[in-house]
């Protein structure tokens, strides 16, 4: 974690606390740590992984039910996005002020790669318009085999 990233997170958390307070919601230290784990994560984490990270890295007592409730709240507040890759585990990623991206999922090892492509984005808008839709949001997941899994099947 770099100093600039730390400062950006501090600004975000301060604004977040002010925003939810104005809306009449309560904040807890557990919610702060959940957001911190998601903010700094380079991976799409399950609720169990978030719970483990908080307990191990920050020595905070937090239960899985608290994490799930908080994640549901964060999803409603548009702070996190759920990624369901089809393996029965919901994964979460920090969404607030993050550039839109899509996902490649390996159907063998569940590796997730984020990507952005301007041509795909433009084509999705064109397809929506062609069919009388105004595109508000979308999610694209491409399933296949990653390089490592392709090599393993050829051996």
Residues in binding site for Zn(2+): 106, 109, 146, 149
Taking alpha carbons only, the member of 102, 97, 141 closest to residue 119 is 102
Residues at the annotated binding site? 100, 102, 106, 109, 121, 138, 146, 149
Residues at the annotated binding site for Fe cation? 100, 102, 121, 138
| Distance in angstroms (rounded) separating the CA atoms of residues 93 and 41 | 8
Strand ranges across the sheet with 45-46: 45-46, 90-94, 80-84
Strand partners, 92: 45, 82
């Amino acid at each position: 974690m770099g100093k600039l990233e730390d400062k950006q997170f501090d600004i975000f958390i301060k604004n977040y606390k002010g925003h939810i307070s104005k809306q009449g919601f309560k904040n807890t230290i557990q919610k702060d740590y959940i957001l911190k784990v998601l903010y700094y994560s380079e991976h799409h984490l399950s609720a169990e992984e978030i719970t483990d990270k908080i307990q191990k890295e920050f020595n905070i007592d937090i239960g899985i039910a608290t994490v799930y409730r908080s994640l549901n709240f964060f999803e409603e507040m548009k702070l996190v996005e759920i990624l369901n890759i089809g393996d029965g585990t919901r994964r979460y990623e920090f969404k607030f002020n993050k550039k839109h991206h899509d996902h490649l999922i390996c159907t063998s090892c569940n590796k997730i790669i984020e990507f952005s492509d301007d041509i795909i984005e433009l084509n999705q808008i064109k397809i929506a318009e062609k069919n009388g839709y105004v595109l508000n949001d979308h999610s694209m997941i491409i399933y296949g085999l990653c390089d490592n899994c392709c090599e393993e099947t050829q051996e």
